[in-house]
């Protein structure tokens, strides 16, 4: 259920004000997670199917097809009651935009980058750190770059990129223009300012993306340039990503590919890919997905993740879900991965494969 606070009283008091509204919404997602690697571990985990959050969004009709919108959305760790995204109040999104019908939208603030959108919208499983073989596993090709979390001028992920934010998944200090929908086609360009005094053009993120949707077919592609300079280190990384999906007769097939081009002397390139599908039959949803990442540096720096899942929708807002996944991690350094990180002690250099079982409940409001 979404709670809407109308501005009718304001509108009645003064006809000069256009009608506006504010919506409070959120997701509460909590589950149990069993991990079996070199060691075993049982966790209570927040955000297996979707990241837990609370948000506020609003819009005002300014007339003549012009609107003002805002979103303030904070991530929650339901297992501890704390804030996600490093404790930021509105760490998921925080932006204001002006939207003109038939032209496009100009927005500014902390916004999703295109790599986050593609690895989320075109993945059968969530790109959070739990709940099946997620597209988050394609990150961390080597010690210099985490595609879903951003560039690292220090060479040790996770660390901040050019926009000092952990981008390019979410980009601080950013301004984006997104075109209106032209027969299913949209394009976007985002600039994230590094805000480094005296080095404006040495620290920035530029994110180009385009998306085409036509009935059951959907495809999106992007390219991100992420640059950061300091007195001791540099980051200069280009990330190209594409994702696509097709739906028919209760089935969906989707997948994608991500390529990281590290332009530094370290040359920590890598690529990731995923392919999955699901089938919906009434309240039942059956899922399967394969994900692979591969680092250029070193030998056997590869992870293959295989998973199956099931979801039962009690209603449009509440679902029971479960997944079983196996992470086949290569023996090389840099890719012994389990999603965004491996819990300490779960693996060793000689024994780093992981089996994961996840069961949880997601409720949205």
- Summarize pLDDT for 36-61 with one digit per residue, the tens: 988 999 999 999 999 999 999 999 99
Task: Kindly state whether residue 170 falls inside one of the protein's structural domains.
Answer: yes
Task: Kindly state whether residue 6 falls inside one of the protein's structural domains.
Answer: no
Split at pLDDT 50, 70, 90, the class of 156 is low
Across the range 195-224, mean pLDDT stands at 90
Split at pLDDT 50, 70, 90, the class of 144 is low
Contact present, 254 and 243 (Cβ < 8 Å):
yes
Contact present, 137 and 337 (Cβ < 8 Å):
yes
Task: Kindly state whether residue 191 falls inside one of the protein's structural domains.
Answer: yes
Q: Looking at the chain, how many residues does it have?
A: 365
pLDDT at 342: 65
Q: What is the pLDDT of residues 65-75, one digit of tens each?
A: 999 999 999 99
Phi, psi of 118 (to 5 degrees): -70, -45
CB burial of residue 82 (10 Å; 0-12, 13-18, 19+): exposed
The yes-or-no verdict on residue 13 having pLDDT over 50 is no
Q: Give the residue with greater pLDDT, 139 vs 137.
A: 137
pLDDT at 7: 44
pLDDT at 154: 59
Contact present, 274 and 293 (Cβ < 8 Å):
no
Least reliable range by pLDDT among 56-60, 113-117, 154-158: 154-158
Contact present, 224 and 207 (Cβ < 8 Å):
yes
pLDDT at 345: 79
pLDDT at 14: 44
pLDDT at 165: 52
Across the range 193-222, mean pLDDT stands at 90
Q: Which two tokens stand for residue 291?
A: 């994900």
Task: Kindly state whether residue 103 falls inside one of the protein's structural domains.
Answer: yes
Split at pLDDT 50, 70, 90, the class of 349 is confident
Q: Give the residue with greater pLDDT, 189 vs 141.
A: 189
Q: Is 86 helix (H, G, I), strand (E, B) or coil?
A: helix
Beta-bridge partner residues of 95 = 71, 109
Contact present, 152 and 142 (Cβ < 8 Å):
no
Q: From 74, 73, 71, select the one nearest 82 (Cα to Cα).
A: 74
pLDDT at 249: 96
Cβ within 8 Å of residue 12, ≥6 positions away: none
Compute CA distances 353 → 110, 308, 339, 347, 348, whole Å.
36, 17, 12, 7, 9
pLDDT at 198: 76
Q: Give the residue with greater pLDDT, 94 vs 237.
A: 94
Contact present, 240 and 226 (Cβ < 8 Å):
no
Q: Is 13 helix (H, G, I), strand (E, B) or coil?
A: helix
Across the range 339-359, mean pLDDT stands at 79
Q: From 49, 48, 52, 46, select the one nearest 73 (Cα to Cα).
A: 52
pLDDT at 179: 98
pLDDT at 89: 94
Q: Give the residue with greater pLDDT, 296 vs 307.
A: 307
Range of the domain at 55: 21-364
Task: Kindly state whether residue 4 falls inside one of the protein's structural domains.
Answer: no
Task: Kindly state whether residue 7 falls inside one of the protein's structural domains.
Answer: no
Please report, for the domain that includes residue 305, its CATH number: 2.40.160.10
Q: What is the pLDDT of residues 245-300, one digit of tens each?
A: 999 999 999 999 999 998 877 788 889 999 999 999 999 999 999 999 888 877 77
Rounded Cα distance, 222 and 206, in Å: 10
Cβ within 8 Å of residue 231, ≥6 positions away: none
Task: Kindly state whether residue 139 falls inside one of the protein's structural domains.
Answer: yes
* Exposure b/e, 269-289, CB count within 10 A at least 16 = b: bbbbbbbbbbebeeeebebbb
Q: What is the pLDDT of residues 319-336, one digit of tens each?
A: 999 999 999 988 765 545
Across the range 302-316, mean pLDDT stands at 95
Compute CA distances 136 → 23, 25, 123, 274, whole Å.
30, 25, 10, 10
Angle at 294 between CA 297 and CA 262, to 5 degrees: 55
Torsion of CA 89, 93, 95, 101, to 10 degrees: -150
Split at pLDDT 50, 70, 90, the class of 128 is confident
Split at pLDDT 50, 70, 90, the class of 196 is confident
Angle at 122 between CA 117 and CA 128, to 5 degrees: 65
Q: From 244, 298, 311, 243, select the one nearest 268 (Cα to Cα).
A: 298
Q: What is the pLDDT of residues 210-256, one digit of tens each?
A: 999 999 999 999 999 988 877 666 778 899 999 999 999 999 999 99
Beta-bridge partner residues of 257 = 242, 273
Average pLDDT taken over every residue of the chain:
86
Phi, psi of 254 (to 5 degrees): -150, 155
Q: Is 172 helix (H, G, I), strand (E, B) or coil?
A: strand
Task: Kindly state whether residue 339 falls inside one of the protein's structural domains.
Answer: yes
Cβ within 8 Å of residue 212, ≥6 positions away: 184, 185, 186, 218, 219, 220
Q: pTM of the prediction? A: 0.89
The yes-or-no verdict on residue 155 having pLDDT over 60 is no
Least reliable range by pLDDT among 91-95, 158-162, 182-186, 195-199: 158-162
Q: Give the residue with greater pLDDT, 162 vs 203.
A: 203
Q: Which two tokens stand for residue 111?
A: 């916004």
Domain count, the chain: 1
């Amino acid at each position: 259920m979404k709670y809407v606070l109308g501005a009718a009283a304001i509108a009645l008091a003064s006809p000069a004000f256009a009608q506006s509204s504010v919506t409070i919404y959120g997701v509460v997602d909590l589950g149990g997670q069993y991990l079996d690697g070199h060691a075993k571990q049982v966790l209570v985990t927040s955000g297996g199917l979707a990241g837990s959050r609370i948000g506020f969004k609003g819009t005002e009709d300014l007339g003549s097809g012009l609107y003002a919108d805002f979103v303030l959305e904070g991530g929650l760790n339901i297992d501890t009651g704390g804030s996600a995204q490093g404790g930021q109040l509105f760490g998921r999104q925080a932006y204001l935009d002006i939207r003109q019908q038939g032209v496009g939208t100009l927005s500014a603030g902390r916004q999703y980058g295109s790599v986050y959108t593609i690895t989320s919208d075109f993945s059968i499983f969530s790109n959070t750190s739990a709940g099946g073989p997620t597209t988050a596993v394609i990150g961390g090709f080597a010690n210099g770059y985490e595609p879903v979390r951003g560039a690292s001028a220090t060479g040790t992920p996770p660390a901040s990129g050019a926009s000092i934010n952990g981008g390019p998944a979410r980009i601080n200090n950013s301004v984006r223009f997104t075109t209106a929908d032209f027969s299913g086609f949209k394009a976007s360009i985002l600039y994230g300012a590094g805000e480094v005094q005296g080095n404006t053009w040495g620290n920035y993120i530029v994110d180009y993306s385009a998306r085409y949707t036509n009935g059951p077919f959907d495809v999106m592609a992007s390219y991100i340039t992420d640059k950061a300079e300091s007195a001791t280190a540099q980051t200069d990384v280009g990330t190209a990503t594409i994702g696509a999906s097709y739906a028919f007769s209760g089935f969906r097939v989707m997948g994608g590919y991500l390529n990281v081009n590290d332009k530094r002397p370290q040359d920590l390139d890598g690529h990731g890919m995923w392919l999955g599908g699901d089938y919906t039959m009434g309240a039942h949803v059956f899922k399967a997905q394969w994900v692979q990442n591969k680092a250029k540096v070193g030998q056997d720096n590869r992870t293959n993740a295989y998973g199956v899942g099931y979801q039962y929708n009690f209603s449009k807002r509440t679902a029971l879900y479960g997944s079983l996944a196996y992470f086949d991690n290569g023996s090389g350094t840099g890719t012994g991965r389990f999603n965004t990180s491996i819990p300490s002690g779960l693996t060793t250099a000689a024994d780093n494969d992981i089996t994961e079982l996840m069961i949880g409940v997601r409720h949205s409001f």
